[in-house]
Each structure stands twice: as C-alpha cells, then as structure tokens.
C-alpha cells in the first residue's frame, strides 16, 4: 500500500514538473512588442494601384540565366524605366545606382547619418515558366492579368510583389513628407534565382563605402495558414539563417581490363559501396535546431506539442523520430546527404578505369564544410576513394541572426497587428537567398514576406498559376509603410 502511494506521488510530481516546464516554455516565447507612434497619417490605399504596378512589372520577362550573357538587357532596362515612371517621388528623392549592370541599389538618406542604415531587399528576376505546362495556366505566366481578385503571373509571389510593396510604401511615405531618421537602403538583385553575382557585388559596393547595416529584410518565410502540422491559426515564420551548400565529387580510379577476368571489386563497386556507407550513416539529428521555432509557435501549438518541446529531457527521442521520419522536417534538423550524379564505365565488357559521383550536402548551422569533409572521410574509410568539393558551388551555413532585438520585435509586432494575432517564430531556411551575402555586413538579416500562404498558394511558386491576391498585396504595402517607419527610427540602443 505504502509503495503504491509513493509511486502515485512520484507520478504526480513528474506530471507537475512537466506541466510547470510547459507553462514556462510558452511564457519564454512571449516577446514584449515595442511601442511605436507614427508621425504620418495612416495609409489610405486603393488596392488597385499597387496591383497595377505589380501587373506592369510581371509583364516584363526578367528571367535570369546561369550564363549571364543570356540575360536580356532590354528587359531589365525596361523594368527600370517602368519603375521610374510609376514611382516619381522615389526617383526624385532616393539616389539610384546600378550595380553589376542590372542590380538596383537605392539610398534614402536619413536625417541622422550617424545611425547605421537598414535595408529592404527583393529580386527583379524570375524563373521561366515550364513550356510543357503553359496550357495549365489560367492566364499566361507573363500576362500580369488582374482578374478574379488576383494578379496572375511569374513574380507575383516570388518576389516582384515585395519590390513593388516596398516601393509603393515609400512613394506614399514621401507623399506624406516622411523622412526616416536612419538611412534606408533598397537592394533589388537581378540574378537571385541562379545564385548570381548581383547581391555579391552590391555587398562589396556597400563594404567599400564602409557601410554596416543595422538590419536587413529579404524574401524567405511568410505567414503560413494551416501548413505546419500541430499549429492552429497563422504562423509567421522568419528566416534567421540558411543552411550551407556543398557538393563533393568522389572519384575511384582502378586498373581497366577485360570483364571476363574481373578483379574482386571494380571502380564502380568501390564507389557504390562508399556512397552506400555514407547514406547508411546520416548526420546526427539535432532537435535543438528547431527549438527556437517551436518556442515561438508554442502559444498556438497543440497541447501535446507544447508539452513535448518543453520537456525535451523526456521526449527528445520521440520528437527526433517524428521529425526524422519526414524528408522536409528531417532536413531542418540535420545535414542532408543526396547522391545526385554518377558516371562510370564505357562498354559492357570493359572494366571501368574510372568511376565518379557527386553527392550534395546541405549543411546545418553549427557544422561546416570542413567538419562535413572530415566526417565523410571517416565514414568512407577507404583510401581508394578520393573526393573534393565541386568548384564554385560551396558555401558555409550562414550565421544565425539575432532575435533578441528591437528589429525582430518590430516584425513580430506587425505580424500580430496585420495578421489576426499571428505568432512569429524564427527558422532555418533550407534553400538560399541573396540575403546570405548581407550577413557579411549585418548581424540582423531576416528572410520574410508579410503575406499569408496556404498549401495551394505555395504550389504557385516556381510552379503553375503563380498569383497573388490584390488584397494581399495591399496588406504588404501597408505592412512596409509601417515597418519602414519603425525600422527607420532611432532606438534606445543608439543613445
Ligand atoms: Zn525568390
């Protein structure tokens, strides 16, 4: 009997401990929103104005190519000319520089030149529309058609919308005679989709001028509506880091010969075994990598998720297994391994003298190109297999941007205000953006678009029927109208 009482008491104690930790975990996500008093009137906006602007730029086929000589100069020039026409005040007040031929860099001088500038980014270029799918588009991909409450076409979501929203916001701020205290920089690259040189050169240009940025906002996460499992309501996910990128070329050289008298292993066999060994030893799963995200989302997470994440000491194993079981969530908690290319052999009756393969790794922040190579060497443990990075493709994981700062809190405050009490949470982006290069001149680089996306909307990005609702674009303009004022002010830390 006494034993039973002790066991019940211990269980109750454990339950209480779990509960207390859960409450504390949810509380720790509470961020006090900074107060802000605007000095300009609230924005009265006819949503059709930005919609028409977006439609105009979508009709210009600014497709970027890996071979930059294929970029059509006339298209980028035309885009620049249209922007000049549509935003007369912006072009009268801000200085504009062309970097790397087509990347746009605008500078809006602040009242206090001693303050570090803030930057708003987007890219002018788009991906092509797959010619096999053209008949599946409701309106052609470069029509910019405004119909059924949407603007249709390439760039409406990725990401001409953000460029237009920022420019419309500033045009209206200028109409209302606003000048920021802090200098505001706009950087619209021209080759983000091909990981080109535009943003690299913009950053170099800013570095040469000795500019360090207080904060940067570029495309990335958005407000997810019912996409994250276990999360109710809107979740505004803000990219604070990007995974690194590494492709390794593996090589096995062997004596050739006739296949009637094969050696015990051929070059192909040795290479395949190495790759198999790699895949059998995935990089360790780090639940901690997504903890800040779940902390941010905990106010709207299902109770079972709240309990689990608040009590990693007990549930780490279960969470790890759950996240690792799905490729998407697995990629967010470890460095991934993907063999993507393999070559070897020339004829069916000849032993191959050479076998080669390329394996692509996406590196989780906290690891590095060197640590990945070291681990690969140990796992393969075969001197006959050599490997080296594919030239010009690798990049280290980005640094992780600060979230305990006013710039981040302003984003969270506006997300709450504009999106029905949406909670904000930081996350690590699986893909890359131009913002990566800006981490060299700022420790607060955020990747986020103030726009609600559901599952269907997401399919349009690089896919069929890319479109953005006229209302969603108007909200983006209003969001930036507010954010530029907030980020453009002096902060306590500046005093
Ligand atoms: Zn993009």
pLDDT profile of the chain (495 residues), mean per 10: 83 83 73 88 97 98 92 96 98 98 98 97 96 94 97 97 98 97 98 94 98 97 88 93 97 92 92 97 94 90 88 90 90 96 95 96 97 98 97 94 95 96 95 95 98 90 95 98 96 64
Task: Return the pLDDT at 487.
Answer: 97
Rounded to an integer, what distance in angstroms lies between the CA atom of residue 439 and that of residue 400? Answer: 9
Rounded to an integer, what distance in angstroms lies between the CA atom of residue 4 and that of residue 209? Answer: 74
By 3-state DSSP, what share of the chain in percent is helix, strand and coil, each rounded to 5? 40, 20, 35
Identify the structural domains of the chain with CATH numbers, from first to last: 48-241+398-494 (3.40.630.10), 244-389 (3.30.70.360)
CA of 193 to the centre of ligand 1 (A): 6
Instruction: Answer yes or no: are the C-beta atoms of 142 and 58 closer than 8 Å.
Output: yes
Active site residue 276: no
Q: Give, as one character, the DSSP assignment of residue 30.
A: -
Print the SS3 string covering 360-410. Answer: EEEECECECHHHHHHHHHHHHCCCCEEEEECCCCCECCCCCCCCCCHHHHH
Rounded to an integer, what distance in angstroms lies between the CA atom of residue 93 and that of residue 206? Answer: 20
Q: What is the DSSP code string of 215-269?
A: EEEEEEEEEEES-STTB-SEEEEEEEEE-EEEEEEEEEE----BTTS--SS-HHH
CA of 238 to the centre of ligand 1 (A): 15
CA of 442 to the centre of ligand 1 (A): 20
Please, how many CA atoms are within 13 Å of residue 363, restricted to the half-sphere of its CB? Answer: 22
For residue 115, give every residue at least 6 positions away whose Cβ sits within 8 Å of its Cβ, in sequence order, or none: 181, 182, 183, 214, 490, 494
**Cα–Cα nearest to 75, from 190, 162, 164:** 190
Active site residue 192: yes
CA of 197 to the centre of ligand 1 (A): 15
Instruction: Answer yes or no: are the C-beta atoms of 53 and 168 closer than 8 Å.
Output: yes
Task: Return the pLDDT at 227.
Answer: 82
CA of 157 to the centre of ligand 1 (A): 8
CA of 407 to the centre of ligand 1 (A): 22
State the catalytic residue, choosing from 192, 242, 457, 466.
192
Rounded to an integer, what distance in angstroms lies between the CA atom of residue 439 and that of residue 399? Answer: 7
Task: Return the pLDDT at 493.
Answer: 66
For CA atoms 16, 22, 23, 24, give the dihedral sign. positive
CA of 478 to the centre of ligand 1 (A): 21
Rounded to an integer, what distance in angstroms lies between the CA atom of residue 110 and that of residue 107? Answer: 9
CA of 17 to the centre of ligand 1 (A): 45
Q: Which two tokens stand for residue 109?
A: 């001088």
CA of 398 to the centre of ligand 1 (A): 17
Task: Return the pLDDT at 1.
Answer: 63
CA of 4 to the centre of ligand 1 (A): 61
CA of 159 to the centre of ligand 1 (A): 5
Task: Return the pLDDT at 75.
Answer: 97
E-state strands within 281-370: 336-344, 354-363
R_g (Cα) of the chain, nearest Å? 26
| C-alpha distances out from residue 297 to 111, 185, 292, 465, Å | 37, 31, 9, 30
List CB-based neighbours of ion ligand 1 within 5 Å: 158-159, 219
State the catalytic residue, choosing from 100, 125, 218, 367.
125
């Amino acid at each position: 009997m006494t034993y039973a009482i002790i066991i019940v008491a211990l269980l109750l104690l454990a339950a209480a401990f779990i509960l207390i930790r859960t409450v504390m975990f949810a509380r720790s996500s509470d961020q006090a929103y900074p107060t802000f008093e605007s000095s300009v009137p609230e924005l009265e906006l006819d949503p059709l104005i930005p919609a028409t602007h977006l439609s105009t730029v979508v009709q210009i086929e600014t497709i970027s190519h890996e071979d930059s000589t294929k970029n059509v100069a006339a298209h980028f020039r035309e885009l620049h000319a249209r922007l000049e026409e549509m935003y007369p005040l912006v072009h009268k007040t801000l200085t504009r520089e062309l970097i790397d031929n087509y990347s746009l860099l605008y500078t809006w001088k602040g009242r206090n030149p001693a303050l570090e500038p803030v930057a708003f980014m987007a890219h002018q270029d788009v991906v092509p529309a797959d010619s096999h799918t053209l008949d599946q588009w409701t309106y052609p991909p470069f029509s910019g058609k405004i119909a059924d409450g949407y603007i249709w076409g390439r760039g409406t979501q990725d990401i001409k919308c953000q460029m237009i929203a920022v420019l419309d916001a500033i045009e209206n701020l200028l109409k209302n005679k606003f000048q920021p205290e802090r200098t505001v920089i706009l950087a619209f690259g021209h080759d983000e989709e091909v990981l080109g040189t535009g943003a690299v050169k913009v950053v170099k240009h800013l570095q040469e001028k000795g500019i360090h940025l207080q904060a940067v906002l570029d495309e990335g996460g958005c407000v997810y509506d019912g996409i994250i499992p276990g999360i109710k309501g809107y979740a505004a996910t803000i990219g604070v880091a990007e995974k690194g990128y590494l492709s390794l070329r593996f090589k096995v050289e062997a004596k050739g010969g006739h296949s009637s008298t094969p050696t015990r292993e051929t070059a192909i066999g040795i290479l395949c075994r190495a790759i198999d060994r790699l895949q059998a030893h995935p990089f360790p799963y780090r639940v901690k990598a997504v903890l800040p995200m779940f902390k941010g989302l905990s106010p709207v997470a299902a109770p079972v998720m709240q309990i689990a994440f608040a009590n990693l000491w007990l549930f780490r194993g279960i969470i790890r297994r759950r996240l690792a079981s799905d490729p998407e969530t697995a990629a967010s908690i470890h460095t991934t391994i993907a063999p993507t290319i393999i070559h070897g052999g020339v004829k069916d009756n000849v032993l191959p003298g050479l076998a080669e393969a390329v394996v692509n790794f996406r590196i989780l922040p906290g690891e590095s190109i060197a640590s990945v190579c070291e681990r690969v060497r140990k796992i393969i443990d075969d001197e006959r297999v050599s490997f080296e990075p594919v030239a010009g493709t690798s990049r280290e994981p980005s640094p992780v941007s600060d979230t305990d700062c006013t710039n981040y809190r302003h984003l969270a405050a506006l997300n709450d205000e504009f999106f029905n009490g949406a909670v904000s949470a930081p996350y690590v982006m699986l893909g890359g953006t131009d913002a990566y290069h800006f981490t060299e001149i700022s420790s607060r680089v955020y990747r986020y678009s103030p726009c609600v996306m559901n599952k269907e909307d997401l399919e349009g990005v690089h896919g069929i029927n890319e479109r953005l609702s006229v209302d969603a674009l108007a909200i983006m303009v209003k969001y930036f109208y507010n954010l530029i004022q907030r980020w453009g002010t002096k902060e306590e830390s500046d005093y």
